[in-house]
Amino acid sequence: MKEKLLGKTPEELKAVAQAAGLPSFAGKQLAQWMYEKRAKSFDEMTNISKAGREKLAELFELGVEAPLGLAESSDGTKKYLFPASEFAVEAVMIPDEERKTLCVSSQAGCKMGCKFCMTGRQGFHGNLTPAQILNQFISVDESAELTNAVFMGMGEPLDNTDNVLRAIEVLTAPWGFAWSPKRVTLSTIGVLPSLRRYLDESRCHLAISIHNPFPDERLELMPVQKAWPVAEVIRMLKEYDWTAQRRVSFEYTMFAGWNDDRRHADALARLLRDIECRVNLIRFHKIPDFPYECASPRAMEAFRDRLNSLGVTCTIRASRGEDILAACGMLAGKHNN
């Protein structure tokens, strides 16, 4: 199998150029074609000699792969299905006025086992490479129009730290996509060893999936609470400075009768005391063989208002793409027309 170039740095691409008999400065040209111009084949790289392009194609692959399928929601959300070795993963493009956000996957399946998540139910099938992650950005129809990225698709990003951090490096480096780190948010359940590394090595935003402030109740649906208690995660987050340059938010999926009352709101406010943050309330989207329903709109509004009254900024996130199984917790690597 040929080595894929997508995800390599200019320094690494110098060695690629030299292996193809090209001068070392062709490494910079490769980076410009791959990341700035989003080339999908070596043939597009017209400032590299034809013989050089042929040799590159003989030895390497760019790593750009077209989607296997596409579904479009009535609200304009689009879900793309991408190859990932023998499995498939999904990326979701969410339009919102001037913004176009890509919800990107980092793994095929997931090890975390959250009981309300379709991705977690399918088990773990493998980490995505930097090429497979970046291909989602390059191969969607809206590639040139994307304004933001959220690592909130299939998988736990901090269970694939090396590859995710390399993809983020390409997204934010001047020689890469040259995005501001403020355009990128990573969502995690709180994988403590990797979380500190992410915070130290990137300036991108962070979202923590919390869903319940009480440890024993959180453990009922999120097995990771045993390995990485959310209180320990928050203690670590308090070591960092949260400003407009880098924000932390908490994702809270609302379940009727499980986490949607004043007791939970008050406990959540106590847990998040002294940390500058936002809480995003998320509608639960019903999945097969799971006993809970989504909290009512009235309960969600009361929960939001209670948190705001206690000094915790809270909003209710609009649900997008539910009719094509593209909303939070519904990605399963299957295309639905």
Tell me the pLDDT tens digit for each residue of 168-177. Answer: 999 999 999 9
Q: pLDDT at position 325, please?
A: 59
What are the φ and ψ backbone dihedral angles of 322, each rounded to 5 degrees?
A: -65, -35
Phi and psi at 107, nearest 5°, equal -145, 155
Band of residue 287 on the pLDDT scale cut at 50, 70, 90: confident
Q: Look at residue 330 in the predicted model and tell me its pLDDT.
A: 53
CB 155 within 8 A of CB 326: no
At 303-319, the pLDDT tens digits run 999 999 999 999 999 87
What pLDDT does 143 receive? 95
Among 41-50, 147-156, 325-334, the least confident range: 325-334
pLDDT of residue 321: 63
Mean pLDDT confidence for 146-173: 97
pLDDT for 318 equals: 83
Q: What is the pLDDT of residues 289-304, one digit of tens each?
A: 888 999 999 999 999 9
For the chain, percent of residues with pLDDT exceeding 70: 95
Q: For 326-334, what is the mean pLDDT?
A: 55
Distances in Å between the Cα of 87 and the Cα atoms of 108, 189, 333 are 7, 24, 8
Q: What is the pLDDT of residues 9-54, one digit of tens each?
A: 999 999 999 999 999 999 999 999 999 999 999 999 999 999 999 9
The DSSP 8-state label assigned to residue 36 in this structure reads I
Determine the Cα–Cα distance for residues 117 and 330; give it in Å rounded to an integer: 6
List phi, psi (to 5°) of 248: -120, 135
Please state the pTM of the whole predicted model. 0.94
Q: What is the mean pLDDT of the chain?
A: 92
Catalytic residues: 90, 328
Structure confidence at residue 337 (pLDDT) = 37
pLDDT tens sequence across 122-150: 889 999 999 999 999 999 999 999 999 99
The two structure tokens encoding residue 21: 């008999």
pLDDT at 335 over 90: no
pLDDT tier, 322 (very low <50, low <70, confident <90, very high otherwise)? low
Q: What is the pLDDT of residue 323?
A: 63
- In sequence order, what DSSP letters do the residues of 185-233 get, joined into one string? EEEES--HHHHHHHHHH---EEEEE---SSHHHHHHH-THHHHS-HHHH
